[in-house]
Structure 1
Amino acid sequence: MAKSRTSSAAAAPAASESTGVRVLKKYPNRRLYDTRHSSYITLADVKQMVLAGEDFEVRDAKTGEDLTRSILLQIILEEETAGVPMFSSQTLAQIIRFYGHAMQGMMGAYLEKNLQTFVELQNRLAEQTKGLYDPKNFTPEMWTQFLSGQAPLMQGLMGNYLEQSKNLFVQMQKQMLEQSAAMFPGFPSKKS
């Protein structure tokens, strides 16, 4: 989501009009107002905007404060409590433990890069299987060819994903060692 750093509510719409970012204003009564369509919307509407890949930002109607993260977290909470959750209690507890920890910033970057890598792999797989959705192209020969290529393809995609994940973790460890060495110059550190 693109977000501009404006301090007043009046400046937010002008900045967003030039960037194409859709501005939603949040009022004290917890209602969201879509400035582009001049109407009130719900969290379900905001979720649809996210699914559509639309750039938007949520601003406090009075102060202009950026509330986008807060609204996105509300959507995640609703998704986690309805249906099948994505995060186990153990995973959520581990995430909470990183708040206030020296690794908090690095863990956020690690999770973000990992998610980006996963989405890229998913897009590549979708691109490679695009022809299967067209009934004209869906022949028994094509299906056989597709299935025979899946094992190596999946192996390659997962191998790339795991390798990138490992590299991100190694970078995170290296940064932690460098920060430790800077904080404690006399303390012996092992550099890789």
Structure 2
Amino acid sequence: MILHGWHGWLLTFTGVAQLTVICLPLAALAVWLLARLRIAGGTERPWAWRRSIAEVGIVYGTLPTVWLTMLPGSHAGTAPGRVSLIPFHDLMTTSPPQLIGNLLLLAALGAFAPVRFRAFATLPRAIALAAGVSVLIELAQYVFRLDRVSSIDDVLVNTVGAGLAALASNRWWRTRTCRRHIEIRIRDDNTTRT
């Protein structure tokens, strides 16, 4: 399918999906450049690559999916905002593709934020970050009257997806956290001995 004009690329599901695929080589180049700059600056090779992959992964993996949630419906601006605050009510009518999309929406954030930011290098903090971002997305859909339902179930499913992704990347951020604690203990031991 050939898309014409910025509207076709930025305001349709197909356009955003195609842009995401087209930008994959640019994302890979960004990872490589960031890692090379860090290695040249004295960062150890494994940490330089992990940090670079995490930074680009957060942006590349989260921005397109969040952008898709902000695409306006056919009655955007005219339809009143709709809210569903009863947990698990909307899950009964959610289609499998939509459920999978909601699980994947913040998966990159859940997987890479603990790797990149020490403050989120615990499962509860990674889950709290994802829940907060998901609430902001639902609020934005309501405030901007995008002809979408702002649902507590979306927040729950987005958060579960991010939590599962954080568990999947656990080895990357647990290694970093454990290593940092060991370095601090060694430094503290050396300080007390002198």
- Fold similarity call, TM over 0.5: no
CA radius of gyration, larger in: 1
TM-score by length of 1: 0.29
| Structure of higher RCO (CA pairs closer than 8 Å, 6+ residues apart) | 2
TM-score by length of 2: 0.29
